[in-house]
Amino acid sequence: MDEFAILDLLGKNLELAFTLALPLAGTALLVGIVASLLQTVTSVHEPNLAFLPKLVAVALVACATGPTLVAQLVRHTVDLLSDFSRFIH
């Protein structure tokens, strides 16, 4: 296996990792910013008021995008394992 194949595989793996993490991390980021702004405006600084909305939003997004993300992961794994003979040289 040459270095170009390794770099290609690494690039595909990183792209998949970002694709899988982006919906959940982006949701947590956006909800965290909104919760922080609301806490600043209302002068209420309760940690639970920032954590609970993030938890609920990430859980909802995970339920909504979970099947698609798992399908992408399974497709990538099948592609990787079906071409496994290329990696054992």
pTM, 2 dp: 0.78
Task: Give per-residue pLDDT as tens, 23-66.
Answer: 999 999 999 999 999 988 988 888 878 889 999 999 999 999 99
Question: Considering the domain boundaries, does residue 1 fall inside one?
Answer: no
What confidence score (pLDDT) does residue 59 get? Answer: 96
DSSP class of residue 88 equals -
What confidence score (pLDDT) does residue 58 get? Answer: 96
CB atoms near residue 7 (< 10 Å) = 10
Structural domain that includes position 26: 20-84
Question: Considering the domain boundaries, does residue 2 fall inside one?
Answer: no
Question: Considering the domain boundaries, does residue 44 fall inside one?
Answer: yes
Question: Considering the domain boundaries, does residue 51 fall inside one?
Answer: yes
Query: Is 15 within 8 Å of 72 (Cβ atoms)?
Result: no
Question: Considering the domain boundaries, does residue 3 fall inside one?
Answer: no
In this prediction, residue 89 has a pLDDT band, given cuts at 50, 70 and 90, of: low
Question: Considering the domain boundaries, does residue 4 fall inside one?
Answer: no
